[in-house]
Structure 1
């Protein structure tokens, strides 16, 4: 191939390129993550290039071979060789390289632009795809909407039962909040996925929590003998700090996830960020307008009902005295979880290991073990599990996971059809097995394909997103509460919750009757647990800070116990409301959402426990001076 013509030059270089049978480059421009014009050690223009994980592996092999053979590697665009550098220091690991030579500044910039844009000759290849058939998609939508409506009705009725007339105003604010969220998502043209639903679930919990915080503070002010208008004003004022701290903490987490997350995780972050904004608006402004409007007309407004009046208001539990018992329980749970994670591991889905997964529906109930035996012969290895009904299986294989292209996909589908043909109805051909019609009830109902490159990137970005969010939360709580002990307690509680949820999944995935794969949706569930746990913990910490300033003569353990007791009603109320939502979706939702909801249910229970018995006690035990709350 000819080299790139030089401006005002009379000579064009001709390169001899070594090709393969397919006449394709060993590496395409798609593996280049970034490329920048830089300068080498002598100050000459150069190009720095970074590849993704798959490209890095192939690049290391190519550069090692070129170094041994003293040959060059050509960078070709539209059959023109832009550069053909040699390898000076052996195989290049990690995917980061520097290309040097007799570049002018403009030539280096041009080469960096070509590499960064990924415009090197390459055919389009699908390295990640998810296909859901119309029949299965319709069923998922129906079950999803059905379960969401049931959950919402439960929440609306609970708020009225617990808070009476004020609960009705909270319901109006909640409905408006949901309407705003869906309206904004529709305006953005967003597609709602499982992680997106997780964001909405967390948003509902936070929206309800904001109203619960406000109403509980108003009830406290009424108990002190204040008039309705004064109690409402003071209640909103006193609750504002807790509401803002909890929402800002969760918002910072969502922002980090949006920056580092990919695909569904970014969708979760987007939904959550929108939900935080709408929740603050509806709780602080809409609920306030409704409540003030009622009281301004001189009409009475109840903040409780006969069964809930005074409930948990005079409780006085010594939480700190029980902390050693809680430490013991948590230590056992953490130890068991870590042992299980170490020796049994997790059931990682194709999102994290790469491969292909098919949901196949049969006419009659089918034995997973029998199909597994058949497919092991066909693909070498396969994983087969019942997925929902007994006539539906989820089949996962890593057969030819490193090979991409439509031809490979069709080959695997052909092998799958041939292997399962004896178990399919007579007359069902390959085309109907794979594609079918809109009313399809037999064959491949959905499929997922994830290439190894994407799987590696998903794992890396998920890890960065979680770690980044924890660091930001630690710093914000440190800034807000002015003591590292509060940050340590919050992060320790989050670590505690995440490890236990992972441990329970590790312990139970082999016998649970629903899918418990670790995929991107599960990561969204973990992120929801982090958000919920932080929200719960920050509310308790905010009350500790308030009591510290109000009761300067109290011993610090009295301050902490009083703060925990005063927030107990809010903690249990919010947790119960959130669990109602999750249980309704878990029971009435589709099969694809059950493992996801199970993670959230476990996370909410563990998160509620940790905010009281882990975060606060750790904060207390790491305080040097416990004799006076102000010191």
Structure 2
């Protein structure tokens, strides 16, 4: 320290412009002078009462204090308060600064530090340095014998031991009135100090209040519209049972919002998108149950027996589909960042509450309505749906080769277009850079603005497009993308404003900004690929566990990978028709959501195939695959309709922020439904079913001829 606490306090008191007089010592100064010195009340040391630290910080930042304090002096707080009598004080440590403001001996020279004991058995800290640090330490200790050395981390003084003598070799013992815990903490601080960890902003977003309010309203209104559409559809299709499903759905919504509120989870726009997906999955569970109940009623069961059988038979499919969706939510939660994590949290909570509301709440209501009644008014169909999808008998697997060719052609076209367009249209999340949403007072042509801004950004990548309205543009640039400093942020903003100055008559106003550093962009790309890979691996393992044949797992993963490729290919195809959507973090969430939706469909079909094989052991996979696909066709189409309607509403009314997500979801729902019917199960037929039938025929088993038409399936009664 350049001065003793008493002399420094007196100096502060004497030179304070608010002083009423001068004093020779700190006690007199504290009594007779202005506010700065009056706070220095720690007995014998330079410090203040713990309650006065905020006032001291404010005073030390004042111009008067800066004029008084020597330029080579830094006043740093101790990390822990000191108890003097009944009062806690926080000490201010006068630290001598070097010309460059750096510590004479920095933390990277510390080779090791550990808690130890001195000759008297008291805790101390043993520290060793590398050769370079040992030389600096020797010079520093030799020049400061009898003085204190501050051990500082993040501008807090953790210890200020007195130098007893010159220390050569870099091995040092720091003793004092330490407890074991304090000595361990100090050792950890010394070791942590050798890890350079500069803080820099790698991702940030600033949204103006008007734009944020508009986006939130669009998301909420579209969600409510989607919820209303589903409720009307369920009531129109299933009658009074549909009203029960609507009640369970509303219960589910209140339960989700309650859990989100309990955990203080913010409901962002991606969270709203996750909520819509949850609504759809909740309805899907009810559709599965109601379709099974209708099947049991068609087979002649009484209403009570049909309800019991419907819930029992649908349970395994509901359970498996919810587990696969939860798997996606967990993977997104661990490896996603920012908005993707919020989407994952909402989706994960929604999966649990949907399972509860569909399997238990709706059953309680339905059983209460039919309990003790010979004739119940509850219905599971209306005049609109009574004969819909009845006696469906499509030769779905017979069209599988056409489906294989169609999918291959679409994927190839998409990726060829992507190559011709200069690569995928990646968003700032994946490329790094800065994006700005700008409002004008009239409709603007995006290409005209881009032509003006391009020279200002010195050839760096720039994209300008309409964003929700003809008078609103989104400008994305990679200019200075690798420089994540605040200076670079200001430089890019200044460059943008200079370019926009040519449109000053159109009153350009920046409504929101976002930035993703190049480092975090690489991380996002890596975690996105990892998330997709882990999702497919997890589904492979789970399907193998549940269905006990690797062909089921392989077919499911191929179909899901097929869905992901088709969604990716749809973006350059849409771009060729003037629909320019970016691939960003939310796009990754959409792809994984599509995988979850498609897997739900596939699991339902797999479950029906397994059921038919168990109840008809003489039949082969090849013989039950078409009946299984046809028997689940009504459920597949109803679920597709409800989910597609919700996502279509989100696409139309959800605003530009969610448009890329909803576009990917719409494409994914179409192809996910298609792949469940024409890709996943037919692949099992090609890899396992034909082989099984040949083996059983060769063994002389009693197996019906596949070419002899659809076999008659027997079924057990579940009560």
Structure 1 length as normaliser, TM-score?
0.79
- 1:379, CA displacement in angstroms? 0.9
CA offsets, 1:363-411, max 9 Å, x none? 1112222211221111123221121211111111111112223332222
Q: Is the 8 A contact 1:341 1:502 kept in 2?
A: no
- Structure 2 Cα separation of the partners of residues 543 and 103 of structure 1: 73
Q: Is the 8 A contact 1:173 1:282 kept in 2?
A: yes
Q: Which residue of 1 aligns with 2:133?
A: none
Q: Which residue of 2 aligns with 1:488?
A: 554
Larger Rg: 2
Q: Which residue of 2 aligns with 1:454?
A: 520
The question of 1:478 aligning with 2:555 is answered: no
Q: Give the one of 522, 526, 535 matched to 1:469.
A: 535
Coordinate RMSD, CA, aligned: 3.4
Q: Which residue of 2 aligns with 1:568?
A: 633
Q: 1:24 to 1:616 in 2, by over 3 A?
A: farther
Q: Which residue of 2 aligns with 1:622?
A: 687
- Structure 1 Cα separation of the partners of residues 186 and 633 of structure 2: 63
Q: 1:262 to 1:78 in 2, by over 3 A?
A: closer
Q: Which residue of 1 aligns with 2:432?
A: 354
The question of 1:402 aligning with 2:402 is answered: no
CA offsets, 1:455-474, max 9 Å, x none? 11111111111111110110
- Structure 2 Cα separation of the partners of residues 103 and 617 of structure 1: 73
Aligned pairs for 1:218-237 (under 5 A) are 218-237=293-312
- 1:103, CA displacement in angstroms? 12
- SS of the aligned residue for 1:424 comes to helix
- Structure 2 Cα separation of the partners of residues 600 and 488 of structure 1: 24
- Structure 1 Cα separation of the partners of residues 471 and 103 of structure 2: 44
CA offsets, 1:174-205, max 9 Å, x none? 11111111221122222223432332222112
CA offsets, 1:318-347, max 9 Å, x none? 111111111111121222233334443211
Q: 1:387 to 1:79 in 2, by over 3 A?
A: closer
Q: Give the one of 230, 233, 256 matched to 1:158.
A: 233
Q: 1:592 to 1:295 in 2, by over 3 A?
A: same
- Structure 1 Cα separation of the partners of residues 341 and 550 of structure 2: 30
The question of 1:168 aligning with 2:243 is answered: yes
Q: 1:111 to 1:371 in 2, by over 3 A?
A: farther
- Structure 2 Cα separation of the partners of residues 617 and 180 of structure 1: 39
- SS of the aligned residue for 2:692 comes to coil
Q: Is the 8 A contact 1:493 1:615 kept in 2?
A: yes
Q: Is the 8 A contact 1:166 1:291 kept in 2?
A: yes
- 1:424, CA displacement in angstroms? 2.6
Q: Give the one of 600, 607, 615 matched to 2:665.
A: 600
- SS of the aligned residue for 2:693 comes to coil
Q: Which residue of 2 aligns with 1:578?
A: 643
Moved over 4 A (4+): 19-25, 76-80, 101-104, 106-119, 627-631
- 1:137, CA displacement in angstroms? 0.9
Q: Is the 8 A contact 1:312 1:569 kept in 2?
A: yes
- Structure 1 Cα separation of the partners of residues 594 and 442 of structure 2: 38
Q: 1:511 to 1:562 in 2, by over 3 A?
A: closer
- Structure 2 Cα separation of the partners of residues 540 and 595 of structure 1: 30
- 1:116, CA displacement in angstroms? 6.9
Q: Which residue of 2 aligns with 1:311?
A: 388
Q: Which residue of 2 aligns with 1:240?
A: 315
Q: Which residue of 2 aligns with 1:433?
A: none
- 1:554, CA displacement in angstroms? 2.4
Q: Is the 8 A contact 1:362 1:391 kept in 2?
A: yes
- Structure 1 Cα separation of the partners of residues 103 and 634 of structure 2: 66
Q: 1:573 to 1:134 in 2, by over 3 A?
A: same
Q: Is the 8 A contact 1:194 1:521 kept in 2?
A: no
Aligned pairs for 1:38-77 (under 5 A) are none
Q: Which residue of 2 aligns with 1:416?
A: 496
Q: Is the 8 A contact 2:289 2:314 kept in 1?
A: yes
Q: Is the 8 A contact 2:216 2:269 kept in 1?
A: no
Q: Give the one of 194, 197, 206 matched to 2:272.
A: 197
- 1:454, CA displacement in angstroms? 0.9
Q: 1:235 to 1:79 in 2, by over 3 A?
A: closer
- SS of the aligned residue for 1:309 comes to coil
Q: Give the one of 317, 320, 323 matched to 2:400.
A: 323
Q: 397-406 or 479-488, which moves further after superposition?
A: 397-406
Q: Is the 8 A contact 1:77 1:121 kept in 2?
A: no
- Structure 1 Cα separation of the partners of residues 482 and 101 of structure 2: 17
- Structure 2 Cα separation of the partners of residues 180 and 522 of structure 1: 27
- 1:310, CA displacement in angstroms? 2.8
Q: 1:575 to 1:120 in 2, by over 3 A?
A: same
- SS of the aligned residue for 1:625 comes to helix
- 1:556, CA displacement in angstroms? 2.4
Q: Which residue of 2 aligns with 1:379?
A: 457
Q: Is the 8 A contact 2:393 2:630 kept in 1?
A: yes
- Structure 2 Cα separation of the partners of residues 102 and 414 of structure 1: 52
- Structure 2 Cα separation of the partners of residues 272 and 581 of structure 1: 16
